[in-house]
Amino acid sequence: MNIVFTLNPNQIGTFLEYYQEELVPSLESHVLALIHGVGYTIHVYRSNKVLIQGEEAKQEALYWQEFLGIPIDLKDSKATTTPHPEVTHYSSESHFGSDEVGTGDFFGPVVVVCAHVSPTLSETLLKLGVKDSKKLTDDQIKRMAEGIIHLVPHEVVILPNPKYNEMIAKGFNQNKIKAYLHNHAIRKTLRLVKQSTDPIIIDEFTPQTQYFAYLADYPHVVKQITFVQKAESQYLAVAAASILARYYFLEEMDKLSASIAIELPKGSGIVIDLIGKRIALQYGLDVFSNIAKIHFKNMERIASTMKS
């Protein structure tokens, strides 16, 4: 679904602040901001037009219609703008790929998987339909992961919410946390596969120089890394890693949901605040340190409802 509407400059500022945890780089000069959430992608153009796409587009638009008090045509438009052309060719060379999941989700951990794919395995993965996890539903992810989890050599690193919140409190930002997790997963996978000469690909989330700056105080850093934008659409190991990371993330979300007997939603949209208020009323605010990333704006909004 595609929904298009226009905001004024002041509203744009409010809009971008709300989604600040889901902002990702865009290579298109006419795009002011690109936002990737669970179930939706948002383009904010320099013309002040906003395009929301995806299964949750209507839900997100409804929130802004009510919050800003502006009329929004909730009918599906025919807009087809996408941030990048689709890449369909996958490298068949032997390589490692590392990807992360969970950094845009208020609830749940951050998960990084590093995988290794050989030319022989590439053919099998292509036949199984392996591709970027963002193009698969959660049910498809589970089925796909269960089919490849024992085929693809990989290592997983899961950062639970208490440790994540502790690192944030110590001054880490999300990219520094991701750099540590990727480095750890890559080192583990190199020991597992013992193919240290194969290229290592990371889907670029920060410039290369900044990545290594984040790791400057760490003694065991893997240096031979290639940073590629939209790597999950070009390298099968990254695509496989993205699927497996999402699979492990979903498993962890199920465990957290079971621990409080409430199904935790993904993402950081308006539904998060509604479920968060229910959790706060039932368990208090302290429980969020164990199940959520408490520096997200969602936490402020949830806490404010308890004071009113």
254-267 per-position pLDDT tens digit: 999 999 999 999 99
CB distance 52 to 60 below 8 Å: yes
pLDDT tens-digit profile of 212-261? 999 999 989 998 898 988 888 888 999 999 999 999 999 999 999 999 99
Cβ(220)–Cβ(187) below 8 Å:
yes
As to burial, measured by CB atoms within 10 angstroms (0-12 exposed, 13-18 middle, 19+ buried), residue 80 is exposed
What pLDDT does 110 receive? 97
Residue 204 has pLDDT above 80, yes or no: yes
Nearest Cα to 131, choosing from 170, 162, 90, 93? 90
Residue 86 has pLDDT above 80, yes or no: no
- pLDDT for residue 79 is more than 70: no
Tokens of 304: 């404010």
- Residue 88's pLDDT band, with cuts at 50, 70 and 90, is very low
What is the reported pTM?
0.71
Q: What was the pLDDT predicted at 240?
A: 93
Question: Domains in the chain, ordered, with CATH?
Answer: 2-68 (3.30.310.10), 95-255 (3.30.420.10)
DSSP H or E stretch at residue 142: helix 138-148
Indicate the range of 154-168, 187-201, 269-283 predicted with least confidence: 187-201
Residue 159, pLDDT above cutoff 50: yes
pLDDT tens string 95-154: 899 999 999 999 999 999 999 998 888 888 888 888 767 778 888 889 888 889 999 999
Amino acid at 145: A
Q: Interior CA angle at 59 toward 24 and 239, to 5°?
A: 40
Q: Which residues contact 157 (CB under 8 A, 6 or more apart)?
A: 111, 112, 113, 181, 184, 185, 188
Confidence of residue 92 (pLDDT cuts 50, 70, 90): low
pLDDT, residue 283, reads 95
DSSP state of 135: G
- pLDDT, one tens digit per residue, over 271-302 is 899 999 999 999 999 999 999 999 999 999 99
* pLDDT at residue 114, rounded to an integer: 96
- List of residues 6+ apart from 130 with CB closer than 8 A: 144, 148, 236, 239, 240, 243
